[in-house]
Chains A and B, each alone.
Chain A
Amino acid sequence: MTANGNKPKFAMYWAASCGGCEIAVLNIHEKILDVDANFDVVFWPVAMDAKYKDVEAMEDDSILLTLFNGGIRNEENEHIAKLMRRKSKILVAFGSCACEGCIPGLANLSPVGDIVQTAFNTLTTDNPNQIYPRTSYDVPEGELQIPKLAPILRTLDQVVDVDYYMPGCPPESHQIAAVVDLVIKVVKGEAELPPKGAVIGVGDSTVCDECPRARNVKTIKYFKRIQDIAPVDPDLCLLEQGIPCNGPATRSGCDARCPGVGAQCIGCYGPAEGVVDYGARLITAFASVIDANEPEEIDRILDGIPDPAGQMYRFSLAGSQLKANRNAWAKEKA
């Protein structure tokens, strides 16, 4: 990664995320050399050594492209999100966490206190001295600080202005490669950027439209976990087989990878084009295909979905309209 003042600058940052997005970027194989050939990588904590103060010293808008993955869980995430916004011309919410909260966003179902308890004081945790993290600690050399957790995880666009969204957990590498190609063309003046706020590196339909499985009129008498159905028909729509597959609400762009290999879609590409609230759309989809008109029968069928909030908002809770469980911020008051 050579420094070159003439090349446009590129940055990538991870906030509350797992690191899978970075691996997906590296998975574009030799295309990564194009990134290096066309960009000066100035800040990418997972790949190179850089300090926050180096970024703070840069001029505003001096970074052309920043891919920001991860949700905003603590003070540090928020600080860097605002910093990268200031320093970047194009800020992309990269990956499901930054776009709609993803799995880290499921922590919005619990108050912060419960999260810390679960992490440091449950049967499976060996913590005999009951040591808990604290946000500041005095040592002989001075005061040490760690960032404070926010009551709930927020998506990137709930904290700063975002130019583009690129969903996926992680975004598919061929989609990343296509976006890299596009940006390079834009830099060379051969292409134009999509309109601000666009969702990039995706299809404009649902996973069902890319799914190779046969679809018929759906009449569902039960919902079951996929492991409880044997054998699973390899060619028939999973939802028709009673497996809660999130395809109908999920944006296309992944080539229906999961249903293609026999696993139900869990919704990592986020809400389909035009969908405001992912879970609401999925409720609509599931409820429409249940084959029952009596309340008792409907309830019996719905018992097959043991965790409706988790099923409907597995990847989209933080970015949904309700955003969190009521307890997640109610207990913060105490």
Chain B
Amino acid sequence: MNNNDTFEPTIIGFTCNWCSYRAADLAGTARMKYPHNIRLIRLMCSGRLDPTFVFKALANGADGVMITGCHPGECHYLEQNYKALRRFHLMRRTMKGLGIEPERVKLVWASAAEGRKFATEVGNFVEEIRSLGPLNWGMSNGRSSLDGGPTTIEPAPDLKEVPA
């Protein structure tokens, strides 16, 4: 993997409505800076996370996927985050069989009060993915070996200070 210094990973982040999305919100309102490589998608619960979403992200240009949810025992829907945990484990094993580093998918628990933790975890994950290099699924030989090729995800806009 070359050019890791200039490589800006594209990361899709899934947040749950009750904890981790509010953590991200808190990080925003507190103006904590974290890398802009992550694009967040809000779900009602981490238990809503279908592995289809993760594989779709990876197949279509994402370099990593971060799944976030309420801490164990604190799920708004009682125990759905445990399902997310178990899916996460099985997903990573399946990805390994398909030649994808399991580290490209990360699970983070963050409560609504943990804006700082959320921002730090995103920063850490971006660096982890940066060191793994681009995934470029199906894009060897400068062309896609797959049908139609992946749809490219728009590069992230430059980081700007957004008024709260």
Rounded to whole angstroms, the CA-CA distance of A259 and B24 in the bound complex is: 46
Which chain B positions have C-beta within 8 A of A325? 97-99
Contact of A309 among B56, B58, B98, B145 (CB under 8 A): B98
Contact of B140 among A295, A320, A333 (CB under 8 A): A333
Please determine whether B145 and A329 come into contact, CB atoms closer than 8 angstroms. Answer: yes
Q: A109-B98, A322-B137 are in contact. List 10 more A-B contacts (CB 8 A).
A: A276-B56, A280-B52, A293-B72, A293-B82, A308-B96, A323-B138, A324-B98, A325-B97, A326-B99, A326-B137
Q: Mark out the residues of chain A between 244 and 301 whose CB falls within 8 Å of any chain B CB in the assembled complex.
A: 276-277, 279-281, 283-284, 286-288, 290, 292-293, 295, 298-299
Rounded to whole angstroms, the CA-CA distance of A327 and B98 in the bound complex is: 8
Q: Are A320 and B55 also in contact (CB < 8 A) when A309-B94, A309-B98 are? A: yes
- 18 inter-chain pairs at a CB distance below 8 angstroms, sorted by A residue, are A151-B145, A154-B147, A277-B55, A280-B51, A280-B54, A281-B52, A293-B85, A308-B90, A308-B93, A308-B94, A312-B94, A321-B59, A323-B138, A324-B145, A324-B146, A325-B99, A326-B99, A330-B140
Distance to closest chain A CB from B129 (angstroms):
15
Rounded to whole angstroms, the CA-CA distance of A320 and B147 in the bound complex is: 12
Would you call B87 an interface residue if the criterion is a C-beta within 8 Å of the partner chain's C-beta atoms? yes
Distance to closest chain B CB from A110 (angstroms):
10
Question: Could you list which residues of chain A lie within 8 angstroms of chain B, going by C-beta atoms?
Answer: 109, 151-152, 154, 158-159, 276-277, 279-281, 283-284, 286-288, 290, 292-293, 295, 298-299, 302, 305, 307-310, 312-313, 320-330, 332-333
Please determine whether A298 and B138 come into contact, CB atoms closer than 8 angstroms. Answer: no
Please determine whether A323 and B100 come into contact, CB atoms closer than 8 angstroms. Answer: no
Please determine whether B97 and A288 come into contact, CB atoms closer than 8 angstroms. Answer: no
Which chain A positions have C-beta within 8 A of B31? none
Q: Are A287 and B55 also in contact (CB < 8 A) when A293-B72, A322-B137 are? A: no
Distance to closest chain A CB from B145 (angstroms):
4
The number of residue pairs between A and B whose CB atoms lie closer than 8 Å in the complex comes to 113
Q: Mark B94-128, 1 if CB is under 8 A from A, else 0.
A: 10111110000000000000000000000000000
Distance to closest chain B CB from A197 (angstroms):
16
Please determine whether A284 and B89 come into contact, CB atoms closer than 8 angstroms. Answer: no
The listed residue with most B CB atoms (<10 A of its CB), out of A283, A310, A325, is: A283
Rounded to whole angstroms, the CA-CA distance of A292 and B85 in the bound complex is: 10
Please determine whether B146 and A323 come into contact, CB atoms closer than 8 angstroms. Answer: yes
